[in-house]
Structure 1
Amino acid sequence: MGLGAWVLAAPLVSRADDTPNPCAALKRIVSAAPQGFATLGPDDGRAVAQPYGTDASCTGSHDTYECQWSSNPGAGSVADALQAVAADIAACLPQATHDQNTPGLQHFYIGAKGARTEISATTAGDTRLKIVVSGK
């Protein structure tokens, strides 16, 4: 087999830079807040969920962007996965204020009252998680 044929027959290799990046997704979503979230599509938020679940369903409107997904068994309990999502938010958005931290709700905000972007991560039943980003 010639080199060209071998290259075409070789399997694609996944590299670290191909991994979905929750930080890039969170920053893209938050940066859309002042103009509204209608320009974001279903794929824009999936990277936030992918470390913890693979069935994310995301939608955007003028006022909010929301994603829901089932927690992977490997992510621990849904409460553990929620804590991990909150840790991602805190690490990716250091300007965000974390003002609520409960087993079922993690809430952050960025900006002054009246021009605030809010981020809520919650449990949605026994096995599902939800993140909602809203701009005001």
Structure 2
Amino acid sequence: MLTTGRRAVLAVLLPLFGVLATSPARADDTPSPCNALKRIIVAAPDFSSLSESDGRPVALPYGDDAKCAASKTSYQCTWTPHGGSSADALQSVAADIAACLPGATHDQNSPARQHFYLGQRGARTEISASQAGSNKLKLEIYSSH
């Protein structure tokens, strides 16, 4: 017997729904600036366990050439912002820091430097985003423990 009408449509579409349901979702593979910032903050006060690649996602939305380095007392990255002004990119990085680390205190907001800190005096993790020359940005996270 030949299937007609709704049954014919369902007979064709149901197998397709099964394929779609089992296909892997394609998520954005861009690393999260928030996850990177949190990973760096958690490492404080000793940043030496971090790698060069841990901070790159912070810069990735704004520049592709981030160079990052960890030491025992700090973690820092520098990069060239793509398109637009470095002042605009600096404001965007500061907005990311504020959104990703809602417990951070934002105590300096200028066109050339943004500063945040977490923790009490004597046991703080400091976050500084600043212009580094005419076309570079610098992110530095350090501990004042």
Range class of TM-score, shorter chain? 0.7 to 0.9
Q: Secondary structure, in 3 states, of the residue corresponding to 1:38?
A: helix
Q: Note the alpha carbon deviations across 1:13-44, whole angstroms, 9 max, x for none.
A: 9632x11100000000011013x011100000
Structure 1 runs of 4+ aligned residues shifted over 6 Å read none
Aligned to 1:98: 106
1:47 aligns with: 57
Q: For residue 27 of structure 2, what is the aligned residue in structure 1?
A: 15
Please tell me whether Structure 1 or Structure 2 has the larger radius of gyration of its CA atoms. Answer: 2
Q: Distance in 2 between matches of 1:64 and 1:80?
A: 25
Secondary structure of residue in 1 paired with 2:31: coil
**Could you tell me which amino acid in structure 1 is paired with residue 43 of structure 2?**
A
Deviations, residues 1-23 of structure 1 (Å, cap 9, x unaligned): xxxxxxxxxxxx9632x111000
1:33 is aligned to 44
Are 1:130 and 2:138 an aligned pair?
yes
Scaled by the length of structure 2, the TM-score of the pair is 0.80
Q: Structure 1 vs Structure 2: percent identity of aligned residues?
A: 59
Gaps of 5+ in 1: 1-12
Instruction: Please report how far the alpha carbon of residue 126 of structure 1 lies from its aligned counterpart in structure 2 after TM superposition.
Output: 1.4
Q: TM-score, normalised by structure 1?
A: 0.86
Shift of 1:125: 1.1
CA RMSD of aligned residues (A): 1.2
Counterpart CA distance in 1 for 2:34 and 2:110 is: 22
In 1: Cα distance, 2:66 partner to 2:90 partner: 14
Aligned to 1:88: 96
Alignment partner of 1:126: what SS?
A: coil
3-state SS of paired residue (1:20) = coil
Q: Which amino acid aligns with 1:127?
A: N
Partner of 2:78: 68
Give structure 2 stretches of 5+ with no counterpart: 1-24
Residues in 1 aligned to 2:90 and 2:119: alpha-carbon distance in whole angstroms: 23
Distance 2:26 2:86 in 1: 28
